[in-house]
Copies of this chain bind each other. A is one copy, B any other.
Amino acid sequence: MAGKVKLDEIDHQILDMLIENTRTPFTDIAKKLLISAGTVHVRVKKMEEAGIIRGSSLTLDYVQLGYAFIAYVGIFLEKTHQTKFVMERLEQIPNVTIAHITTGKFNIFCKIRARDTNHAKNIIFMIDDIDGINRTETMISLEESFNDKKRLMHMIFNEL
């Protein structure tokens, strides 16, 4: 599964195309890179086996699905040794989409997604109720802006 694989320019360009659309036909990629579809197939498989490609997922419009509310919750623990326990509890709440153990102001830091303010309130209360949490601080997202993955990839590949 995990391994060390040196990626070359061809691999970078394959990833580049698949990052934009995971269903880009290998034949299209092959045509663009002037290689055979078989080669694309082998290289993708290799990157999957090496664990560089961990999977693929859909980007959904959560607003249209009725989940427009995003907030970040900073968590202060009573004692640091409770970190693992609290992280595990957070992972059990599906509305917590990502959680980090952090240095700095907060001990733990997580992102939540909810339908609306009222729904978010319930989720935050749920978090507040976890044993070991002293208090939380909520930051509501008024606007979200993404940077597309392709640009980060270019940085990585060109060692900028």
Cβ of B56 and Cβ of A21 under 8 Å apart?
yes
Chain A contact residues (Cβ within 8 angstroms of B): what range?
35 or more
Contacts of A106 in B (CB 8 A): 139
Question: Quick one: copies of this chain in the complex?
Answer: 2
Q: Choose, from A33-41, A65-73, A127-135, the stretch at the interface.
A: A65-73
Of the residues B52, B64, B109, B141, contact of A102 by C-beta under 8 Å:
B141
| A56 and B53 contact, Cβ closer than 8 Å, known pairs A100-B143, A102-B140, A105-B137 | no
Query: Is residue A142 within 8 Å, beta carbon to beta carbon, of the partner chain?
Result: yes
| Given A102-B141, A139-B106, A155-B95, residue A22 in contact with residue B58 (CB < 8 A) | yes
Q: Within 8 Å CB of A50, what residues of B?
A: 64
Which chain A residues numbered 46 to 62 have a C-beta less than 8 Å away from chain B?
A: 50-62
Q: Is A118 an interface residue (CB 8 A)?
A: no
